[in-house]
């Protein structure tokens, strides 16, 4: 997703991603780490919701500069994720396997995210890679909060983060949730 207003608007909104120029030779360790971090940036779904992988949640500079106050960690072992101090975290333990029941966590995740959005805060939803578990939870949130169909919610999410791909079991559970939300089941 592009930021309107060109380079100046981008550098005003994301100053921590901008630099004057790389050192001509032998870049320092800090510069190398900063450049590498850019490959793990979260994707902005809307004004309040970001989605990404585990590295995003543990990057204090990115979390701080994006104004993220809550992190929803959805992993096999989410308690191992070290979010920046002062960030509220909800841990959901689930494997990225089609036979896992992610739907049992939909309400808890929705409440955590909705509380943030209603307060004007920003929340990062992540799993290991930011592709399946986190995508499922974000899609369900978009359906419930904004009344979007599964197709519309998934379209919005893919516009922000192309690599999302819910596993087949999670997709079926999102379809079932859509049917309950909109009276089809």
Mean pLDDT, rounded, of the chain: 88
Q: Kindly tell me if the per-residue pLDDT of 126 is higher than 90.
A: yes
Domain range 43-181, CATH class? alpha beta
Please give the residue that has the higher pLDDT: either 15 or 41: 41
- For residues 19-46, average pLDDT: 65
Strand-by-strand arrangement of the 68-75 sheet: 43-44, 49-52, 122-126, 68-75, 88-93
The catalytic residues are: 127
% of the chain beyond a pLDDT of 90: 76
Q: Is residue 24 over pLDDT 90?
A: no
Tell me the range of 15-24, 38-47, 124-133 where mean pLDDT is highest. Answer: 124-133
DSSP 97: -
Residue 1, pLDDT > 80, answer: no
Domain boundaries along the sequence of the chain: 1-40, 43-181
């Amino acid at each position: 997703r592009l930021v309107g207003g060109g380079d100046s608007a981008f550098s005003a909104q994301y100053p921590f991603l901008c630099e004057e120029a790389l050192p001509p030779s032998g870049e320092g360790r800090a510069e190398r780490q900063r450049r590498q971090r850019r490959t793990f940036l979260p994707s902005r779904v809307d004004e309040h919701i970001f989605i990404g992988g585990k590295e995003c949640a543990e990057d204090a500079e990115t979390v701080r500069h994006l104004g993220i106050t809550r992190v929803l960690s959805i992993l096999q072992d989410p308690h191992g994720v070290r979010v920046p101090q002062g960030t509220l975290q909800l841990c959901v333990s689930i494997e990225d396997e089609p036979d896992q029941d992610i739907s049992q966590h939909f309400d808890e995740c929705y409440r955590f995210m909705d509380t943030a959005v209603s307060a004007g805060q920003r929340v990062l939803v992540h799993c290991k890679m930011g592709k399946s578990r986190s995508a499922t939870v974000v899609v369900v949130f978009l359906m419930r909060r904004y009344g979007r169909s599964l197709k519309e919610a998934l379209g919005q999410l893919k516009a922000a983060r192309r690599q999302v791909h819910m596993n087949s079991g999670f997709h079926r559970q999102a379809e079932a949730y859509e049917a309950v939300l909109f009276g089809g089941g």
